[in-house]
Amino acid sequence: MKEWTREERYRVLQGADDILGLYESIKESDYRQTYHLQPITGLSSDPNGFVYHKGVWHLFYQWCPWGAVHGLKYWYHTASKDLVHWKNCGVGIYPDSFYDNKGVHSGSGFSTGDDLYLFYTGNHRDEDWVRTPYTCVAKLEDSGELIKAPQPLFGPHENYTEHQRDPKVVYDEETQKYYILLGAQSKDLKGKVLIYSSDSLLEGWTFVGELRVPGFEDLGGMWECPSIERISGKDVLVFSPQYTTLPNRNQSTNHNIYLLGKMDYKNLTFTAEGNYRHLDYGFDFYAAQFAANNGDPDRAVLTAWMGLPDNHYPTEAEDWEGSLTLPRELRLVNNRLLQRPVPGLASLREKAVVLDEELPRVCELEVSNHQGQDFELKLFSKKDGSGGFCISYDSQTKLCTVDRSQMDQHFNAELGECLTVPLEDGLTKLAVYIDKSSVEIFINDGQVTFTSHLYPTKQEAYYSASSHLDLQAWLLKPAVTDDFVI
């Protein structure tokens, strides 16, 4: 693996010619996705600025152009009219001011009338490499021009560590105020959410306190990407706790969870109705972001980074890495979130196929286990039936197990290659979305989801399934452009 110097990682992108050769090289990779968003070069990580505005869904991702390495971050801009077909629009926000001289870090979008604003963390470092995070705003014009405010909305709070980032902007009807939620870390190294409020979207922001979440004060050492969304009259708190292990997550110390309950902005308190649930039980899911202004009080739309901080993947050798999950529609049913791919994804079905021994590299599978029996489903096994990405179910324990340890290409094995998913109901149905380097599994119409990167070799082209399973399969058409737009 290449050793990157700081100078290489934080090199400023001068123009398209700087990375055209890299783009030409990686676009030939066998692992380039066909219907998942991915970086044109280098690394993509957190989804940012996800918002519906004037008939268009805007979605940015954190981007380091030089290779599969975390360095100088930009926001790269993509857009869609249906949450399925996406086009590249070029760099959305450059790290070109004093306040973001070493990176444009995560944040959110906010649509108001004809105006679209992007709120982000400016990552400033001085000559001694001391970090100062600033909460900044920029306006995205219809022309694509981005106009940054000359000054940040506010700087860091002195009572917390340098880890203060990922502004999420919400408007509360009851108090008639705007609020910014910031992921943060206390000086005794506990995860926090800081709250700022204002009567105006673009000025007058003041710190009003920490978010109180009774019963969850000691959960992790940093809470990244906090967000509060209201679905069918109930509040949903989502965040990514770090620096802690959790049940059913092996050795991973980065997670993405949600709580259902009630948010009281007057008292800065989120009262949870029960324990947290994982947004996704897979190996590779993090930094989920809700789309702002989705227009339906009974649903939310969400996507996430298909990856984890500090993890490494086989395509790093090709100088690129990363993907975003499929946009998911979230609804509240029986006091839990159901996550399903947005309905428009069905338009990608090219044709139904009868599966023989071979498994298409890009497809959708619908798996029915009508009686809720034990089963085993192997994807990408070898011709002799060995190896493969194994999904199994034990009806006695109601545990679904996903095991990628028998694949040829191993990555992040030290964190564990086998995960168990506890189910409240018997497992009767799976929807499996396979792309060139990923698998997304939706269990029981989205009661539980599981996301994993996967890099099958040419000999890993087969599948097997317990005889009582009913499988249907569709080839899927491409839905994302890989155009070179800077």
Q: Which residues belong to the active site? A: 46
CA distance 363 to 442: 14
Is residue 329 a contact partner of residue 343, using CB atoms and an 8 Å limit?
A: yes
Name residue, tokens 């972001």.
Answer: 289
Q: Which of 181, 480, 473 is nearest to 323 (CA)?
A: 480
Name residue, tokens 């004809």.
Answer: 114
Q: Which residues are within 8 A (CB) of 411 and not within 5 positions of it... i.e. 6 or more apart?
A: 311, 312, 313, 314, 453, 455
Is residue 80 a contact partner of residue 25, using CB atoms and an 8 Å limit?
A: no
How distant, in Å, are the alpha carbons of 367, 396, 443, 449 from that of 399?
Answer: 17, 8, 12, 13
Q: Is 216 left (phi over 0), alpha (psi -120 to 50) or beta?
A: alpha
Q: For 368-409, give the DSSP string.
A: E-TT---EEEEEEE-TTS-SEEEEEEETTTTEEEEEEEESSS
Q: For 260-312, give the DSSP string.
A: EEEEETTTTEEEESS--EES--SSS-EEEEEPBT-S-TT-EEEEEESS-TT--
